[in-house]
Amino acid sequence: MGEDAAMAARQFEVDVSEDLLGCKISSPARRTMAAPARCRTCQGVTEASVNRLFDTRFGIPGRFEVQRCRQCGLEQIFPVPTPAQLKELYERFYNFGGERGTVYTTLREWFFCSPLYRLWILLDEDISFHTRQGQGRLLDIGCNEGRTLKNYARNGFQAEGAELNETAAAVARSAGFTVFTGPLDDFILVTPFDVVVLSNVLEHALDPKAMLMSVRRLLKPEGQVWISCPNSESWLRPVFGLSWINWHVPFHISHFSANTLRSLLEECGFTLRETRQMTPALWVAHSLVARLFAEEGKPTRQLRNPLLMFALVGLCRALLFPALALGNRWGRGDCLAVVATRGGDPAVRG
């Protein structure tokens, strides 16, 4: 995170720690829980499964719980940010805020456009479907400044994007892509899409069921949705505990297992076609850095050190390859990658 973002974090600290999520928090560790929360997809009663989580990436103040629904099993953070709070958090701390020309962004842009990136995802898992070839219309939801759109276009698709961050969307448009900004409900569909991509996006949605229903509306009959997201049953979750990088509070609202994701897809009228589990060494390295360096209320700058991360990724891939492969085989990979097709009418939950 750059100096401007760090300053924003300090300026935002009072507002977040005192009033984030509508809770007065004089000491995050001593926050008093409200009445039991309700599941955001089935309205079932939830119970706490993980406590004392804090932001290990940007240093945003506040503590959170993860609660598991007794009815459907989906895990969600609590308290849940309001849309307005999330909008402000994303604009200040997350994704593309106009940062350009730094060493980090220059190296990142060079890497994603180089043959080394293709080699990288072959060796360290393709969690964003960047190696899939095809044709037809593709919509990438959460396309940021368009790096992924370039990959999908090179692979034969007519790629378009959807992005809430107007600054990032403008950069993607300057590269020649059509990018929609706004809620998916407001997307005026002229021609349905063959593919919609939700690459590490669904877990960020305040209402994942509503997001999937919007995706269904945008797809052709038998059109595909490609989803990747962290796996709540990953073996790395107990290994790293509170430092597991995929807690990512307060941005990761829902935590899916293979079963809860499949159930939600079926409820929304999709037919599951393919499920893979992967454990990118980059994610392992991120969790390791969080364990070693993260401090509550402070940004973990080591996560943006390209030399450190490159070295750790190589080390994790070389030394942990058997464990990573076995975890994937046993259904405990760090990432779920799912392909589903639009089917018949959505199911009605009993």
Instruction: Give me the half-sphere count of Cα atoms (radius 13 Å) on the Cβ side of residue 179.
Output: 27
* Rg for the chain, CA atoms, rounded: 20
- Give the predicted TM-score (pTM) of the model: 0.86
Separation CA 76–CA 256 (nearest Å): 9
275: β partners = 338
Structure confidence by residue, pLDDT tens digits, 10-61: 344 434 444 454 443 333 333 434 456 789 899 999 999 999 999 999 999 9
Is 53 a domain residue?
no
Is 90 a domain residue?
no
Q: Which domain holds residue 220?
A: 99-342
Is 298 a domain residue?
yes
Structure confidence by residue, pLDDT tens digits, 111-136: 666 677 677 777 778 788 988 999 99
Tell me: pLDDT of 327 over 50.
yes
69: β partners = 46
Q: What are 344's two structure tokens? A: 């018949």
Is 27 a domain residue?
no
Is 22 a domain residue?
no
Element (H, E) at 218: helix 208-218
Is 10 a domain residue?
no
Q: Supply the CATH number for residue 277's domain.
A: 3.40.50.150
Number of domains in the chain: 1
Is 42 a domain residue?
no
Is 337 a domain residue?
yes
